[in-house]
Structure 1
Amino acid sequence: MKKRVNLTFPKSTIHVPVAYRLAKDFNVAANIIRAQVAPNQMGKMVLELLGDIDQIESAVEWMRSQDIEVSLHGREIAIDRDLCVDCGLCTGVCPSGALQLEPQTFKLNFARSRCIVCEQCIPACPVDAISINL
């Protein structure tokens, strides 16, 4: 099973080796999608967890016991194809390459599985065709 989570670390838990502990103690693979962690500051991270559902739930419980705030990542980017004019402005700000123009048709292609929901594409869209689904 795959599950995407948002983590918020208080200053006191920045030193916790989360990805290592998830793999070693819970047999859960942690793909770091996005991270903003600095010494003596609050940190944020988006992880994609891969493993057995029970192991993932145990890992989430452990992270919460370490004072790490864990929230399930239920948000997704939505593109209104009726509004989209395939201008490609969103492709220039997409750090994961989830938004690309097809070379032959010049139509916008959205690879949802590559999207990290950074929301940089939303303000880039001149016709407001991109939004966030909660």
Structure 2
Amino acid sequence: MKKRVTLTFPKRSIQMPITYRLAKDFNVAANIIRAHVAPNQIGTLVVELSGDMDQLESAIDWMRSHDVSVSLASREILIDEESCVHCGLCTGVCPTEALTLHPDTFELNFTRSRCIVCEQCIPTCPVQAISTNL
């Protein structure tokens, strides 16, 4: 089973080896999608957790017991077709090629099933046509 979650670390927990503990203690794999972690600051990590359902729940309970906020990610990328100018800048930062330009029309194509909601495209869009639903 897989779950995409956002982890928010308090300043005092930023040095905790979360992904190591998830793998070692709970047999849960953590694929890091996006991270913003720095010393003496609140940290956030978007990860896709993979493992047995009971192990995932135990791992999430353990993180919460260590003051790590865990929220299930249910966000998705939205593209405002009316605002988009099909410049293609977002395609250059998309790690999964969910955003591509059609080779003949040069119009933006969005393949939602490939999107991992890393949000790298949002600040790249010069006309702010890309956002999330939350």
Structure 2 unaligned runs (5+)?
none
Structure 1 unaligned runs (5+)?
none
Give the 3 Å change call, closer, same or farther, for CA 40–123 of structure 1 in structure 2.
closer
State the TM-score, normalizing by the size of structure 2: 0.80
How much is the aligned-residue C-alpha RMSD, in angstroms?
Answer: 2.5
Match of 1:55 in 2: 55
Residue identity matched to 2:69:
E
State the TM-score, normalizing by the size of structure 1: 0.80
Match of 1:102 in 2: 102
> Could you give the per-residue CA deviations for residues 65-94 of structure 1, whole angstroms, max 9, x where no partner exists?
0100111111101235577553424324x3
Match of 1:3 in 2: 3
Cα distance, 1:36 vs structure 2: 1.3
Residue identity matched to 1:14:
I
For 2:47 and 2:128, the matched residues in 1 are separated by 31
Match of 2:29 in 1: 29
Identity %: 60
Cα distance, 1:4 vs structure 2: 0.7
How do 1:1-134 and structure 2 match up within 5 A? 1-79=1-79, 84=84, 86-92=86-92, 94-96=93-95, 97-112=97-112, 113-118=114-119, 120-121=121-122, 124=125, 126=127, 128=129, 130-134=130-134
For 1:70 and 1:132, the matched residues in 2 are separated by 19
Give the 3 Å change call, closer, same or farther, for CA 68–127 of structure 1 in structure 2.
closer
Cα distance, 1:123 vs structure 2: 7.4
Cα distance, 1:20 vs structure 2: 0.6
SS in 1 for 2:34: strand
Query: 2:83–2:127: 8 Å Cα contact kept in structure 1?
Result: no
Query: 2:89–2:124: 8 Å Cα contact kept in structure 1?
Result: no
